[in-house]
Structure 1
Amino acid sequence: MVKRVILLSGDFTENMELFAPLHALQMLGIEVSTVCPGKKKGEKVSTAVHDFEQWQTYTEKQGHQLTLNASWEEVFQTYKEYDGLWIPGGRAPEYLRMNPEVLEVANYFKESGKPLAAICHGPQILVACGGLQGRKLTAYPAQEIEVKLAGAEWVKTDFDQAIVDGNIVTGPAWSANPAVLKHFIELLGVKICF
């Protein structure tokens, strides 16, 4: 049976946190619906490339465009039929978290026990959902305060590591994609045999 995942995006989602999991999940035969609230199938989102150069924070440049393969309206009507949710970071979560439908979907996956991955700034959406008391999360380090204020336990980790707490997998940046993907596909019940 084919697994189905929602990949939530928005303009200026982090390029690597969108395309790397999209391609990896598709390569494994997982059906991925790329969606953005307010946009329809065939429309595009612009991504952002975040990198560490010489300043105290990361820089941002425009990345690739993603052509959405599903409409938000349709996926929102059927989100409970999906097996998992992937929330990439970048700037998109800061405004997506203000959308009640986004919070409804994220909260459903958080509470249902179905796999949910949130990377970099993606946990901003989980914080906006609430109900994180006792959960262990990581995210981009600037979110430590938000995570703690939401009642979750902040876990400091290397940028290439992931934290798993039940059905939730979190990572601090795009360099954690391999670790987050590994745990996410295990939670989906996908087995890779060599």
Structure 2
Amino acid sequence: MNGKKILMLCGEFTEEYEIFVFQQGMEAVGHTVHVVCPDKNAGDMIATSLHDFEGHQTYTEKPGHNAEINKTFAEVEGELDSYDAVYAAGGRGPEYIRTDPRVQTMVRHFHETGKPIFTICHGVQILMAVPGVIKGRTVACLPACAPEVAAVGGIYYDAGPKEAYVDGNMVSGKGWTALAAFMRECLKVLGTEIRHT
């Protein structure tokens, strides 16, 4: 079976782990992951962030490593039919790229075609910006996003820190600590089978 082609939507200060771990894990099993950011070209770099819970009332944010964009954003706009799934990574990036009509068009394509949609942490903010995408759907995300989920007709699931949630073709997780479970469920939705001998 041929590997799948996954579109990863990122912005500046997207969560580092949710870029690198997802991309490298999917590529390790033969899938292709195109990391894109509005108005960025292949070879450009974006800043990333690291969110953590260190005893304060909310998460802390620290600079992460720079991440390389490996596909020009403008090219992807005309190639959406060639992708098998879309992934909305979390962190700070979703907050602003969700307002970009081109990003909304991309998300709408995957929603309307019934292709898999993967979201973790704040990545759900990207889906919220497109009417109907999470309406009636159950999603896990950072608790701070729960009121927004409800406001657009979604159902917030309070997932454990290492748990993923699957609602049909949509896989979601609370944050980067859930990446192992999240990616395992994404692989199942993609039809990827890993055998141990």
Interval containing the TM-score (normalised by the shorter chain): over 0.9
Deviations 1:74-97 (A, max 9, x none): 111101210111111000000011
Determine the C-alpha separation between the residues in 2 that align with 1:102 and 1:37. 8
For 2:178, which of 168, 176, 179 is the aligned residue? 176
Q: Per the alignment, in what secondary structure is the counterpart of residue 95 of structure 1?
A: helix
Determine the C-alpha separation between the residues in 1 that align with 2:167 and 2:145. 18
In the TM superposition, what is the alpha-carbon distance from 1:167 to its structure 2 partner?
Answer: 0.7
Match of 2:111 in 1: 110
Q: Which runs of 4+ in 1 moved over 4 A?
A: none
Within-5 A mapping of 1:74-153: 74-131=75-132, 132-153=134-155
Determine the C-alpha separation between the residues in 1 that align with 2:46 and 2:20. 12
In the TM superposition, what is the alpha-carbon distance from 1:133 to its structure 2 partner?
Answer: 2.4
* Range with bigger deviation, 51-60 or 109-118: 109-118
In the TM superposition, what is the alpha-carbon distance from 1:109 to its structure 2 partner?
Answer: 1.4
Give the number of equivalent residue pairs: 194
Deviations 1:118-162 (A, max 9, x none): 100000011111213211111100011000111011111211111
Determine the C-alpha separation between the residues in 2 that align with 1:176 and 1:137. 14
| Percent of residue pairs identical | 39
One-letter identity of the residue aligned with 2:5: R
Determine the C-alpha separation between the residues in 1 that align with 2:153 and 2:74. 32
Structure 1: 5+ residue stretches without partners = none
Change (3 A) 1:173 1:105: same
Match of 1:59 in 2: 60
* Range with bigger deviation, 103-112 or 84-93: 103-112
Determine the C-alpha separation between the residues in 1 that align with 2:112 and 2:165. 17
Instruction: Tell me whether 1:43 sits opposite 2:44 in the alignment.
Output: yes
Contact 1:148 1:154 in 2 (8 A): yes
Deviations 1:153-192 (A, max 9, x none): 1111211111111111111110111111111111111111
Structure 2: 5+ residue stretches without partners = none
Determine the C-alpha separation between the residues in 2 that align with 1:65 and 1:193. 34
Contact 1:117 1:170 in 2 (8 A): yes
One-letter identity of the residue aligned with 2:158: K
Match of 2:16 in 1: 15
Determine the C-alpha separation between the residues in 1 that align with 2:79 and 2:37. 15
TM-score between the two structures when normalised by the length of structure 1? 0.97
